[in-house]
Amino acid sequence: MWPRWNLGWNDFDDMFSAMSQLRTYMDKVFDDTPAARVWEGRGLSGLGGWPRANLTDTGASISVTAEVPGLTEKDVKVSLNQDVLTLSGQRPVETPKGYSTHRQERPAVEFSRSFSLPCRVNPEHATASVKNGILTVTLEKAADAMPRQISVKAA
Protein backbone atom coordinates (compact mmCIF):
# COMPACT_ATOMS: atom_id res chain seq x y z
CA MET A 1 0.00 0.00 0.00
CA TRP A 2 1.21 3.50 -0.81
CA PRO A 3 2.01 5.80 2.09
CA ARG A 4 -0.55 8.39 2.69
CA TRP A 5 0.76 11.97 2.66
CA ASN A 6 -0.96 14.52 4.75
CA LEU A 7 0.46 17.75 3.35
CA GLY A 8 -1.14 21.01 4.25
CA TRP A 9 -0.48 24.56 3.17
CA ASN A 10 1.87 25.10 6.13
CA ASP A 11 4.12 22.33 4.83
CA PHE A 12 4.39 24.04 1.46
CA ASP A 13 5.08 27.38 3.16
CA ASP A 14 7.87 25.79 5.19
CA MET A 15 9.37 24.22 2.06
CA PHE A 16 9.34 27.49 0.11
CA SER A 17 10.73 29.34 3.13
CA ALA A 18 13.65 26.87 3.28
CA MET A 19 14.24 27.32 -0.46
CA SER A 20 14.25 31.10 -0.04
CA GLN A 21 16.74 30.83 2.81
CA LEU A 22 19.00 28.60 0.69
CA ARG A 23 18.88 31.16 -2.11
CA THR A 24 19.87 33.93 0.32
CA TYR A 25 22.85 31.86 1.50
CA MET A 26 23.92 31.15 -2.09
CA ASP A 27 23.68 34.85 -2.98
CA LYS A 28 25.99 35.62 -0.07
CA VAL A 29 28.49 33.02 -1.28
CA PHE A 30 28.61 34.52 -4.76
CA ASP A 31 28.67 38.09 -3.41
CA ASP A 32 31.91 37.24 -1.60
CA THR A 33 33.91 36.90 -4.83
CA PRO A 34 37.02 39.01 -5.54
CA ALA A 35 35.00 41.11 -7.98
CA ALA A 36 32.44 41.89 -5.27
CA ARG A 37 35.18 42.78 -2.76
CA VAL A 38 36.87 45.33 -5.02
CA TRP A 39 35.21 48.30 -3.45
CA GLU A 40 35.92 47.13 0.09
CA GLY A 41 39.44 48.52 -0.18
CA ARG A 42 41.14 45.24 -1.08
CA GLY A 43 42.32 46.49 -4.46
CA LEU A 44 41.87 45.32 -8.01
CA SER A 45 44.84 42.96 -8.06
CA GLY A 46 42.64 39.99 -7.21
CA LEU A 47 40.53 40.42 -10.31
CA GLY A 48 43.00 38.98 -12.77
CA GLY A 49 41.11 40.65 -15.59
CA TRP A 50 41.97 44.24 -14.88
CA PRO A 51 42.44 46.39 -16.77
CA ARG A 52 39.69 45.35 -19.16
CA ALA A 53 41.11 45.18 -22.67
CA ASN A 54 40.26 44.57 -26.32
CA LEU A 55 42.72 43.13 -28.84
CA THR A 56 41.85 43.75 -32.48
CA ASP A 57 43.57 42.77 -35.70
CA THR A 58 43.51 45.58 -38.25
CA GLY A 59 45.33 43.57 -40.93
CA ALA A 60 48.62 45.45 -40.80
CA SER A 61 48.77 45.74 -37.01
CA ILE A 62 47.42 44.54 -33.69
CA SER A 63 45.63 47.18 -31.61
CA VAL A 64 45.18 46.82 -27.85
CA THR A 65 42.89 49.18 -25.95
CA ALA A 66 42.62 48.98 -22.18
CA GLU A 67 40.62 50.91 -19.60
CA VAL A 68 42.94 52.65 -17.14
CA PRO A 69 40.80 55.31 -15.46
CA GLY A 70 42.70 57.87 -13.44
CA LEU A 71 46.12 56.76 -14.72
CA THR A 72 48.56 58.82 -16.75
CA GLU A 73 51.44 57.83 -19.01
CA LYS A 74 53.72 57.94 -15.94
CA ASP A 75 51.58 55.36 -14.11
CA VAL A 76 51.48 52.73 -16.89
CA LYS A 77 54.26 50.51 -18.25
CA VAL A 78 54.02 48.56 -21.50
CA SER A 79 56.53 45.83 -22.33
CA LEU A 80 56.86 43.35 -25.16
CA ASN A 81 58.77 40.09 -24.90
CA GLN A 82 58.59 38.07 -28.13
CA ASP A 83 54.84 37.44 -28.56
CA VAL A 84 53.71 38.47 -25.06
CA LEU A 85 52.50 42.00 -24.33
CA THR A 86 52.46 43.04 -20.66
CA LEU A 87 50.57 46.01 -19.25
CA SER A 88 51.49 47.00 -15.70
CA GLY A 89 51.30 49.99 -13.45
CA GLN A 90 49.95 51.47 -10.29
CA ARG A 91 47.67 54.17 -8.98
CA PRO A 92 48.79 55.35 -5.57
CA VAL A 93 46.42 57.04 -3.18
CA GLU A 94 47.91 60.30 -2.03
CA THR A 95 46.34 62.80 0.31
CA PRO A 96 47.29 66.38 -0.64
CA LYS A 97 49.49 68.25 1.83
CA GLY A 98 47.51 69.95 4.55
CA TYR A 99 44.50 67.65 4.15
CA SER A 100 43.37 64.51 5.96
CA THR A 101 41.36 61.60 4.58
CA HIS A 102 37.88 61.15 6.04
CA ARG A 103 36.67 58.55 3.57
CA GLN A 104 38.55 56.49 1.00
CA GLU A 105 36.56 54.45 -1.52
CA ARG A 106 39.17 54.36 -4.29
CA PRO A 107 41.91 52.00 -3.17
CA ALA A 108 45.50 52.07 -4.35
CA VAL A 109 45.87 49.83 -7.40
CA GLU A 110 48.83 47.82 -8.60
CA PHE A 111 48.32 45.60 -11.63
CA SER A 112 50.08 43.50 -14.22
CA ARG A 113 48.34 41.75 -17.08
CA SER A 114 49.88 39.82 -19.98
CA PHE A 115 48.44 38.94 -23.37
CA SER A 116 49.67 36.35 -25.82
CA LEU A 117 49.69 37.97 -29.24
CA PRO A 118 48.24 36.03 -32.18
CA CYS A 119 51.26 36.72 -34.42
CA ARG A 120 54.78 38.12 -34.45
CA VAL A 121 55.06 41.91 -34.27
CA ASN A 122 57.76 44.46 -35.04
CA PRO A 123 58.75 45.98 -31.66
CA GLU A 124 60.57 48.94 -33.27
CA HIS A 125 57.28 50.32 -34.61
CA ALA A 126 55.18 49.84 -31.44
CA THR A 127 53.40 52.88 -30.00
CA ALA A 128 51.44 53.45 -26.79
CA SER A 129 49.40 56.40 -25.53
CA VAL A 130 46.90 57.24 -22.79
CA LYS A 131 43.96 59.56 -23.43
CA ASN A 132 40.77 59.98 -21.37
CA GLY A 133 41.45 56.84 -19.32
CA ILE A 134 42.05 54.61 -22.36
CA LEU A 135 45.47 53.09 -23.05
CA THR A 136 46.00 52.38 -26.76
CA VAL A 137 48.90 50.18 -27.88
CA THR A 138 49.51 49.69 -31.60
CA LEU A 139 51.81 46.88 -32.66
CA GLU A 140 52.81 46.63 -36.31
CA LYS A 141 52.87 43.05 -37.54
CA ALA A 142 56.18 41.54 -38.60
CA ALA A 143 56.63 41.31 -42.38
CA ASP A 144 56.25 37.52 -42.38
CA ALA A 145 53.00 37.76 -40.35
CA MET A 146 51.30 40.21 -42.72
CA PRO A 147 48.45 38.92 -44.86
CA ARG A 148 49.45 38.48 -48.47
CA GLN A 149 47.44 38.64 -51.63
CA ILE A 150 48.11 35.76 -54.01
CA SER A 151 47.50 36.49 -57.63
CA VAL A 152 45.62 33.91 -59.64
CA LYS A 153 46.81 33.19 -63.19
CA ALA A 154 45.13 31.26 -65.94
CA ALA A 155 46.71 27.90 -66.59
pLDDT digits (tens, 9 = 90+) for 100-137: 888 888 788 889 999 999 999 999 999 999 999 999 99
If one compares 155 and 5, the residue with the highest pLDDT of the two is 155
If one compares 24 and 61, the residue with the highest pLDDT of the two is 61
Sheet containing 109-116: order of strands: 76-81, 84-91, 109-116
Q: Which architecture does CATH list for 47-93+108-145?
A: Sandwich (2.60)
119: exposed, middle or buried (C-beta count within 10 Å: 0-12, 13-18, 19+)? middle
Q: pLDDT digit string (tens) for 49-87?
A: 778 999 999 888 999 999 998 889 999 999 999 889 999
Could you state, in order of their start, the residue ranges of all structural domains in the chain?
8-42, 47-93+108-145
What pTM value is reported for the model? Answer: 0.62
Amino acid identity for residue 56 in this structure: T
If one compares 6 and 64, the residue with the highest pLDDT of the two is 64
Q: pLDDT digit string (tens) for 32-43?
A: 555 554 444 444
